[in-house]
Amino acid sequence: MIKYILYIHLVLMSFTSSVLGQDQLSPSSDKTLVILKVLNPDDSPYKNALVKFINSSMIEFEATTDNNGVLRILLPIGNKFMVTCGELKNERLINLSNRGYATWTGTRYTSRFIKFTFNFRDYQNKPIYQESIFTVLDSGDTLIEKTNQDGNAKFFVPIERAFEVSTKHKVIKRFEIPDDGYEAISLSFKYRGQSSKAIEKEEKEDQLAQIEYEKLQKTRDSILAYEDSIRSTQPTGIIFFASDKEMRYLGEISVFDGGKEGDKLGTVNAVWSCHSGPGVKDAEVTLEKTKGNYSYYAKSSQGYEWEGYYEITGGGWKTIILEISEGKKVVN
């Protein structure tokens, strides 16, 4: 137990000595004292972490930040340094003058970034809460944040050539940001549209509606098929009549079933100036047919003829019009 307590004591003494060592640094004729505060992009201190300073000759110098993200280090005068924090780097240079016994004080972020705020509202201008927003970098990496109660999703995007923003269901916009050497850029974007929940609710309602429609359609088709099967067993009444808007009588028209050699069904003398034709009691040529496909032939006493086909599905009445204007003169 005594050895364990002694070990803890020695570690604390070592850490304290390191911090005190930085506090006791002083500039000299060839070294500048650099006092740097290092921040994360969200402005929190980059605390108790190693920071490297790299000059143009790729020579590295190291120092460790304290709880406030502050470090002190002696660096050769007349040099320019970039800093790296782990895998992050900030290319904004720290320029040290050639003057001795100087102190340089400043602040740097762990990397150069764009502070991007995406504001998402619905079409009623109400903020959309807890919506996942995706920011895809040119490197292929994806940053994901959820909107807060104000509809804001905040990102710290590395300064690259471009990035793309999307929701779960829609690509919103691609941003092209020129790199003008800034350490940090603030960018806001407002967007109105449907939330993923609203889109998914609509899709689900559409699916349910489609299922219900298909059920009703299946029932309707079944009913129609049953009615058609019943109707197909019933005969259909057929009425032949002549029609001509200009009332050009071509004499008596004889109607034959099936063709020129078919049975004569009767004669048509009246000509109607409409396509509705006569009622059953006024019809001159009528017959009945069951379900099937049929043909007819008709010829007037003045030498005009008609041929045609018709389909019977069963039940009810069907009118077949002999258009006077479509009659063809028979050439003997």
Q: What are the tens digits of pLDDT across the range 243-278? A: 987 666 678 999 999 999 999 999 999 888 888 889
The tens digit of pLDDT for each residue in 66-88 reads: 999 999 999 999 999 999 999 99
Contact between 164 and 136 under an 8 Å Cβ cutoff? The reply is yes
Contact between 25 and 33 under an 8 Å Cβ cutoff? The reply is yes
pLDDT band at 5 (very low <50, low <70, confident <90, very high): very low
What is the C-alpha to C-alpha distance for residues 79 and 57, in angstroms, rounded to an integer?
10
Helix or strand or coil: residue 119? strand
pLDDT, position 112: 94
pLDDT, position 318: 93
Average pLDDT on 217-240 reads 88
Provide the b/e sequence for 221-247 (b: ≥16 CB within 10 Å).
eeeeeeeeeeeeeeebebbbbbbbeee
Query: Which residue matches tokens 């003997």?
Result: 332
Average pLDDT on 135-143 reads 92
Nearest CA-CA partner of 103 in 94, 92, 112: 94
Is the pLDDT at 21 greater than 70? The verdict is: no
Kindly state the tokens that stand for 55: 């000059």
Is the pLDDT at 226 greater than 80? The verdict is: yes
Nearest CA-CA partner of 314 in 192, 230, 248: 230
The tens digit of pLDDT for each residue in 145-196 reads: 999 999 999 999 998 779 999 999 999 999 998 888 889 999 999 999 999 9
Nearest CA-CA partner of 289 in 254, 232, 237: 237
Kindly state the tokens that stand for 269: 């003398």
Helix or strand or coil: residue 265? strand
For the chain, what percent of residues have pLDDT higher than 90? Answer: 74
**pTM of the predicted protein model:** 0.58
The tens digit of pLDDT for each residue in 95-119 reads: 999 999 999 999 999 999 999 999 9
What is the C-alpha to C-alpha distance for residues 219 and 206, in angstroms, rounded to an integer?
20
DSSP assigned state of 128: P
Nearest CA-CA partner of 184 in 163, 155, 148, 141: 155
pLDDT, position 163: 95
Average pLDDT on 38-67 reads 97
Provide the b/e sequence for 62-77 (b: ≥16 CB within 10 Å).
ebbbbeebbbbbbbeb
